Structure 1
Amino acid sequence: MSTVDKMKRIAEKLAQADAVLIGAGAGLSAAAGINYLDEQRFAEVFPGWVKKGFTAQYQLMGYPYWTQLEQWGYYKAHLEYVYFGQQHNPLYQRLFDLVKDKDYFVMTSNVDGLFYKNGFDKSRLYTPQGDYGKIQCTVPCSQQVWDIAPFLQAMTPFYDRHEQVLTDERGIPKCPNCGSHMFIHARIDGSFIDSEHEREYRNLMTWLNKNANNQVLLLDLGSGFNTPTVIRLPMENLTQTMPNAHLVRVNLEHDEVSLDIPHKASLFKQDIKGFISELTA
């Protein structure tokens, strides 16, 4: 079947679907312009860290060899770019236009907030890996999370914009409850506060139960193998178990499926931005 015919088939399935489940991975954010492997953009946004020998944001994900002053200096720049600097995004807005009149739900491993910044209803989002807009205690001493913006603002007097590090420990975020270190509310280890997302999970389960026998189109956009149990494999399992489900997987590198569901899957090895453009043409 030609690509044109495949696209027509997906457009028909979308039109006929009772519900749409979007499963989004890092590939979607990359297609939207936030690519953690983009060395040119890294050099533009993080010149202080280029001087330290780094060439891409990906190298600093989970990086253990820095002080709190260095870590929070980097994350202040990182969040100002990735979270606060990214608001209305054309790709996410086109995706929203595709599903806004459907009974949709989104589960995503992305923590950049681009879904809710571009029209998607927060009550229809499941974000088990966290949210860059929040911060938490690393102990944690409670199940509480806070908005991160005031903590970043408090760093400003102690932030060297040339070196992109903090210059004084007074700028380091401390837990308002116990005084311990804090970190972005993003899953990196066992300190992550899962309870923050329990309501989202219940909403997803309610939605899935409601649509168990309906015509459901599953759009798997950019989920890879860094954390396959979060989006990629659940999307395949749901396709297999829901009798009237059809999976559409769009991925530049890994468009294959691991389960025996070829009759229930349409696979596109292409850029997500191009795919959405063709689907909305």
Structure 2
Amino acid sequence: MKETYAAVLRKIEEADSIVIGASNGLAISGGYNIFAENAAFIENFGDFCEKYGIRSILQGAFYSFPSQEEKWAFFSRMYMYFLENEEVSPAMKNLYELVKDKNYFVITSNTDAHFELAGFSKERLFEFEGNCRKLQCSNSCHDDIYSGDHVLREMAQKQQNGKVPSDLIPQCPKCGGPMQMHVEVDRNFLRDPSWQASYDAYQNFIKTAHGKKLVLLELGVGFRNQLIKAPFMNITNNEENATYITLNKGEIYIPQEIASRSIGIDGDISAVLAQLVQLK
């Protein structure tokens, strides 16, 4: 295994460009599991489980709550679960330490806002399913995205009996309609100008890396997340100087076509990143 770690570190150090693709497996390795009915979920959302039968954060995010007061009780609590102390996991800290001096770009389906907290530049970050710190108009009457930190924290702190005070519920400043968290839970999700700019920056990064030593570092991306996995594999297949590195626990898949230019490590991502930083 030491030889594999050394090979990964060598590829990262030699790379002209690094594209990081991250999904839920990375968050899970840091202790944030949106799929699980675990102790952390019961501690933070146990009343929602008891009242509505919600058994995971993901299920709650897609749940049709009977009122805005109850909906925002859940989403503001979710915000606090991710960001209460504005701390990031050792996995995120080690990932940043590994690439901070490199020419990197991050594409992620995670909405917990932890990449910026860890130090990653927002200009080098494409959160294609949104960010739990942001709000948008539910009616999509315009495409501005708003900071939600203040109101989300206040709703979380002042909610009682699974409801937030009605006067705290955010309303669209233009149409007066309901707001929602800017995460992709329905068809109302806005691909606003900042979303489009991040997408364009990602595409431009890939184009600029053409022909150079490129590492595609995939972290915790399950096979079903083809929005990250498929492009990474295609780029590796088409770029002769590209290396595909995938870290995941219990699920490593490398097609034969790119096997000679790929490295897979099956294990706890947090532990693997810690080992890589230690070797560095």
Q: How high is the TM-score relative to the length of structure 1?
A: 0.90
Paired residue type of 2:220: G
The answer for the alignment partner of 1:25 in structure 2 is: 23
Q: CA deviation at 1:145?
A: 0.9
Deviations 1:215-273 (A, max 9, x none): 111110001245x2321222112211222111111111321035731112111111101
Match of 1:111 in 2: 111
Q: How far 1:33 moved relative to its partner?
A: 1.4
Q: Is the 8 A contact 1:158 1:171 kept in 2?
A: no
Task: Quote the Cα distance in structure 2 between the aligned partners of 1:156 and 1:98.
Answer: 35
Indicate which of 11, 31, 34 corresponds to 2:9.
11
One-letter amino acid of the counterpart of residue 241, structure 2: N
* Aligned counterparts of 1:128 and 1:241: Cα–Cα separation in 2: 24
Aligned-residue CA RMSD (Å): 2.0
Kindly provide the amino acid, as one letter, of the partner of residue 201 in structure 2: N
Question: What SS does the aligned partner of 1:184 have?
Answer: strand
Matches of 2:37 and 2:46, distance apart in 1: 14
- Contact kept in structure 1, 2:22 and 2:106, CA below 8 Å: yes
Alignment-derived partner of residue 121 in structure 1: 121
CA contact (8 A) 1:236 1:259 kept: no
Q: Is the 8 A contact 1:77 1:164 kept in 2?
A: no
Aligned residues: 275
Q: Structure 1 or 2: larger helix share?
A: 2
1:213 aligned partner: 211
Equivalent residue for 1:137?
137
Question: More displaced, 247-256 or 56-65?
Answer: 56-65
> Aligned residue for 1:234?
231
Distance 1:38 1:85 in 2: 22
Looking at structure 1, the residues matched to 158 and 3 of structure 2 have their Cα atoms a distance apart, in angstroms, of 57
Q: Distance in 2 between matches of 1:207 and 1:158?
A: 43
SS of the equivalent of 1:194 reads coil
Q: Distance in 2 between matches of 1:173 and 1:154?
A: 11
Structure 2 runs not aligned, ≥5 long: none
Q: Which amino acid aligns with 1:179?
A: G
> 1:96: Cα distance to partner?
0.8
| Contact 1:83/1:132, CA 8 A, preserved across alignment | no
Q: How many Å separate the matches in 1 of 2:275 and 2:140?
A: 46
> What is the identity, as a one-letter code, of the residue corresponding to 2:46?
P
Q: Give yes or no for the alignment of 1:244 onto 2:241.
A: yes
Q: Which moved more, 1:133-142 or 1:3-12?
A: 3-12
Between the aligned partners of 2:153 and 2:24, the Cα distance in structure 1 is 28
- The Cα of 1:158 is off from its aligned counterpart by 5.8
The alpha-carbon deviation at position 86 of structure 1 amounts to 3.7
User: Amino acid of the residue matched to residue 136 of structure 1?
Assistant: Q
Instruction: Give the superposition deviation at 1:169.
Output: 3.1
Larger deviation: 270-279 or 42-51?
42-51
Partner of 2:257, secondary structure, is coil
Distance 2:196 2:44 in 1: 35
Matches within 5 A, 1:65-80: 65-80=65-80
8 Å CA contact retained: 2:80, 2:156: no
Cα distance between partner residues in 2 of 1:51 and 1:266:
44
What is the distance in 1 between the residues matched to 2:157 and 2:175?
A: 24
Matched residue of 1:224: which SS? coil
Q: Quote the residue 1:45 is aligned against.
A: 44
Residues of 1 paired with 2:58 and 2:140: CA distance? 26
Query: Structure 1 residue runs of 4+, over 4 Å off?
Result: none
Query: Deviation of residue 157 (structure 1)?
Result: 8.3
| Distance in 2 between residues matched to 1:136 and 1:28, nearest whole Å | 26
Shift in Å at residue 214 of structure 1?
Answer: 0.8
**1:182-231 alpha-carbon deviations (Å, 9 max, x no partner):** 110011222211123111122122221221111111110001245x2321
Structure-1 residue corresponding to 2:99: 99
* TM-score, normalization by structure 2: 0.91
The residue aligned with 1:255 is: 252
Q: What is the CA–CA distance in structure 2 between the aligned matches of 1:216 and 1:149, rounded to whole Å?
A: 36
